[in-house]
Amino acid sequence: MQPEDVPYLPRGVRVHRDRVRDAWVLLAPERAITLDAIGHAILTELDGERSFGAITEALAAKYNASPDEIAQDSAGFLRALKDRRFLEVR
């Protein structure tokens, strides 16, 4: 994931509040993935307009961490979603 990439959730993939299990989940074609706090924080930042760089900076400010740290923590997660076609990049 490059800083200028714009990641977004494609149609049919959405973040959902699972009220029965009291958790956030990512719903995708025939899959439901439980999100941890970091995963949820990243995915709710995706708006299809801001770049990966801008998102990591926003998260760094919000969680008082360095943008590099955030980028490192989230790149693997986003790449795994992309490989499964749960995330697109423009």
* Contact between 46 and other proteins per CB under 8 A: no
Does residue number 18 form part of the binding site for other proteins (CB under 8 A)?
A: yes
Q: Which stretch binds other proteins (CB under 8 A): 1-9, 20-28, 48-56, 68-76?
A: 20-28
Report if residue 90 touches other proteins, rule: CB under 8 A: no
Between residue 25 and residue 44, which ones bind other proteins under the rule CB under 8 A? 25, 27, 29-32
The binder of other proteins chosen from 2, 4, 11, 64 (CB under 8 A): 11
The two structure tokens encoding residue 89: 């990049």
Q: How far is CA 12 from CA 8, 28, 31, 61, in A?
A: 12, 6, 11, 30
- Residue 19 phi/psi, 5-degree rounding, is -75, -25
Residue 66: partners with Cβ closer than 8 Å, 6 or more residues away: 60
Give the whole-angstrom CA distance, residue 46 versus residue 29: 19
Question: Given the rule CB under 8 A, which residues bind other proteins?
Answer: 10-13, 16, 18, 20-21, 25, 27, 29-32, 82-85
